Every structure is written in structure tokens, then in C-alpha cells.
Structure 1
Amino acid sequence: MIIKKRILAALLAAPAALAIAAPAHAQVNGIATASPVRVIDSSKAFSAAQQQIQTTFKAAFDQINARRQAAQKEAEPLLAQLDTNKDKKVDDAEINAAKAAKNPVLDKIAALQTAANTDVGKLSNPAARAELFAIESILRQYDAAQLRVVTARKIGVVLTPEAFMYAPDSADISDAITAELDKSVPTVSIQPPAEWQPARETLAIQQQLAQLEQIRAYQAAAQQQQRPAGAAPAPAAPAPAAAGGAKKPAEPR
């Protein structure tokens, strides 16, 4: 099955901290934190867009799964040639030995991976583009939603959580901004115009959403491993919206 929800394969966001600046209001007091990525991830509009993307591009996701399975099957006999101790695993020592010997099997595996990634990128590109359009549509309403919270709570400065060494939970207004967004933009379109291109900040947020989902997946896997034998399984994660492994869907503006 395709792992839950995010489309872009990039697991690491741009090195600079992502921030969507709110206008300063010197006439009021208070400092707060907000995470645009968390706001979007929690919004009703983004959740609805993910469900719509999953339905709209289901055939493509099925093809992606099939392509990955085919690539894995092709790679298995090649990997077996590198498994010199026959433990059905290829460890670092075996990889290094193959590199030192300039084993041509490594090149064959790399070629298989490249071909599979290219095919997956082509298949997932339309879904990635749809997600980007949904993200950007929500972002257009972000500043207004943030300003409404800032004004209501008489906040003077909003910073990203990364800017703080410490802040109480009450300083985080992400949930309040999400609530405002849910009022003003409960749904968004996933059908961009033909000539539309995503902005750089949209691509950066999509990357950070992918990173956030990877963290959740690792945490879920760790919890699964720690669960005692015979314990009830964890609740199923929400249905996936799209596949990882997409190429960058479009050049930023």
C-alpha cells in the first residue's frame, strides 16, 4: 500500500526555517508562535483535498505500486548476487566489497532504481501538482486568518516555534489560525489552470509536509515494534492521498 498522505518524495525541507510573516502591530502587546506547516496540515481544506486527490488519481497510485513491486522483483536476483554470506540481507560490508571489486551488479541495480524512479515521477506528477495547488490556495488565506487571531488576542509579534528556546503551550496560536482558516476556506480546488506554476514557498511547504509525515511514519513504526505480542493493533492511519517518489512537479515562480 502507498504510505499515507504526502505526495512529494523530498524528505528534507529547505535548510532555511519556513516562515510566513505576519505584519507587526506595534500598538498591541504579546508574543506568539505559529507553524504554517502545522496549520495547513490540520486544516479541513487540506484534509478534504487529500481525500479528493486519492480518489481522482487512484489509477495512477495503483500503477505506482505495481511499478515499485516490479522493480523490487527485478532487483531481487541482483541483490542475491551481493549476498555473499547468504543471510538474505545485503549489509554495508557486502556493499563495500562489491564497490571495491567494481561489481557490475551495482550498476545494474542503480539503473533499475533510476528507471523506476523516473516512471514513478511521471505517474505521480499530476497528483503532486494537484496537492501543490491546494496548498497554495490555502496559503492565500493564511495571512488574513492569522491577522484575525492577532487582532483578537492583541498579539504584537508572531514567530515560528524554531525561533524560541522556550515558550509555554499557550503561546502557540497555530490551532487558532487553523480554526479561522476552516471558517474562511473549508475546501479548495485541486485542479490548477494549465499554465499555473507553484510558488517557491508552496514547494517548501509541500516538502515540510512530506517531512512531517515521515516523522509520523517512523513514530508509528517504533510504536508497533514496542507493542507486546498479542496486543491490539494501533488504529489505522487515514487513507493515503498520494505516493512518494514524485519528481518535482513544476519549476517555482
Structure 2
Amino acid sequence: MKFLAKTLASASLAAAVFAAAPASAQVQGNIAVVNTPLAIAQTNALRTAFQQVGTTYQTQITTIQQRQQQIETLLTQLDTNNDGGLDEAEQAAAQTTPQWQQIQQIEREVGQLTNQIDMARAYALEQILRQYSPTLQQVVTQNQVQMVVAPDSVIYAQPAADMTGKVVAALNTAVPSVQTTPPAGWQPSRQTVSVYQQVQQIFAIAQQQAQQQQAQQPTQQPNGR
């Protein structure tokens, strides 16, 4: 299995999306909004698991970064017109070069290493996902909600209708921790793969926002000047 994921998103970066909505928010009416991928992304168990995977697979992560730099160097060699990219003619010519063969080999290696990391993360996520439905039902019953809808199905809703924070709090209680080592032969379900990809997109957006905020911060001068 190979995920279309942002594997190198660090745990510290992922933490940007772990500030859940207030669990004490009052749900008004019979309809509530819950963002399932965001709720799972915000759980303490997933945050801790991603940190553990980052530590356990640090060698693989470092190797992936090094190999990606090698690919960039090789692509630069194939960019004959120096425009920063490969047009159709350059791509066609590149496929007969030693650099292209080397790129293919490196990409296979990166894919294998990436898959190891993704499998560990997905296994952690799936353990939370197994408890999601009963936990959601518990929150629904406690708040006397008749219908739960996803954010992309809503045209307008009051902030109080968002029950994602309550689900996060309940998941933190139901699943305080998870394992990150998949058993032999384990394969993620389709639902796990789908939610994992959505969670990785959340992390990618958080990374963009963090980078933008950092870029907008004024540079401090020495001695407070």
C-alpha cells in the first residue's frame, strides 16, 4: 500500500491543528456539525502516536529527505534550458539518460521508506477510528442530538452547532493511547486510508498557515531595536 500523503509533516507541526474547539460549547437544536477527520487529528492519542513514529522512524525520515535532495539535483541536470522545470521535450530526452534511471531507483526507495512510516501512522489512526462510532453515539445521546452532519454539507450553522470539540474530548477518554507497530500482515481498511489522507491534508494546511504566519512576523532587531 502506498499513501498519497505528506509523510514528513512533523509532530510539532501537526500540533498546530490539535487545539480543539471548546468541549464545553453548548449544542443548540437537534442538528450538530462534526468534522470527523479534524476530530481524529485533534486527539491526544494521535498526537502522541505521530510523535512516537517520528522518533522511531527518524532514520527513514532523514534518508527520505536526503534522497529527495538527490532527486532535485538530478532534475536540475536534466533541465537543459534552465527554466526551473522539465518541459515535454526535456522529459522525453531525459528518459534515456543515466540520471533518469537513477531518479526512478531513488523514487522506489523513497516509496518503500514512506510506506513504512505511513503504515505505522495509519495503524495508530485506525485504532482511534474503531472507537469513533460508539464515541460519537455517546456524545449524540448526551447532547440529545437528532442529526449529525459533516461541515461540507452545511450552508450555514451557528458556531454552537459545532460538536467536534465534544467528540475530541470523548475520544481522549475512550482512547487515551494507541500502538504504532502494526502486527504482521496488517493492512488498513479503505476507511482508514481515506481518513488518513484527510488528516494529512489537515496537517499540510496547518503547515502552510504556520509558514505564512512565520513569514509575516517582523524580524526582531538586536537589543530590541
TM score, norm. by length of structure 1: 0.70
**Alignment partner, residue 10 of structure 2:** 4
**Alignment partner, residue 93 of structure 2:** 104
Number of aligned residue pairs: give it: 198
CA distance in structure 2 between the aligned counterparts of 1:229 and 1:125, rounded to whole angstroms: 39
Aligned residue among 148, 164, 167 for 2:154: 164
Which deviates more, 64-73 or 151-160?
64-73
* Deviation of the 1:67 alpha carbon: 1.5
Map of 1:61-210 to 2, 5 A cutoff? 61-79=61-79, 81-83=80-82, 89-90=83-84, 95-96=86-87, 99-100=88-89, 104-105=93-94, 108=97, 111-210=101-200
Q: Deviations over 1:117-147 (max 9, x none)?
A: 2111111222211111111100111111111
Which deviates more, 64-73 or 162-171?
64-73
Q: Cα 1:53–1:32, aligned 2, differ >3 Å: closer, same or farther?
A: same
Which deviates more, 103-112 or 179-188?
103-112
Q: Cα 1:111–1:170, aligned 2, differ >3 Å: closer, same or farther?
A: farther
CA distance in structure 2 between the aligned counterparts of 1:155 and 1:143, rounded to whole angstroms: 15
* Deviation of the 1:229 alpha carbon: 4.0
Checking the alignment, whether the CA contact within 8 Å between 1:67 and 1:116 is kept in structure 2 is yes
CA distance in structure 2 between the aligned counterparts of 1:226 and 1:64, rounded to whole angstroms: 30
Checking the alignment, whether the CA contact within 8 Å between 1:5 and 1:213 is kept in structure 2 is no
Checking the alignment, whether the CA contact within 8 Å between 2:122 and 2:192 is kept in structure 1 is yes
Partner amino acid for 1:161? P
Q: Secondary structure at the match of 1:82?
A: coil
Uncovered stretches (5+) of structure 1, i.e. residues with no partner: 7-28, 84-88, 233-253
Partner amino acid for 2:10? K
Q: Deviations over 1:16-67 (max 9, x none)?
A: xxxxxxxxxxxxx600010110111000110111111111111111221222
Checking the alignment, whether the CA contact within 8 Å between 2:9 and 2:203 is kept in structure 1 is no
The structure richer in helix per residue is: 2
Q: Cα 1:167–1:111, aligned 2, differ >3 Å: closer, same or farther?
A: farther
CA distance in structure 2 between the aligned counterparts of 1:107 and 1:171, rounded to whole angstroms: 58
**Alignment partner, residue 49 of structure 1:** 49
* Deviation of the 1:231 alpha carbon: 7.6
CA distance in structure 2 between the aligned counterparts of 1:102 and 1:183, rounded to whole angstroms: 53
Cα-Cα RMSD? 2.5
Partner amino acid for 2:81? L
Checking the alignment, whether the CA contact within 8 Å between 1:145 and 1:180 is kept in structure 2 is yes
Checking the alignment, whether the CA contact within 8 Å between 1:133 and 1:191 is kept in structure 2 is yes
Q: Cα 1:33–1:70, aligned 2, differ >3 Å: closer, same or farther?
A: same
Checking the alignment, whether the CA contact within 8 Å between 1:40 and 1:138 is kept in structure 2 is yes
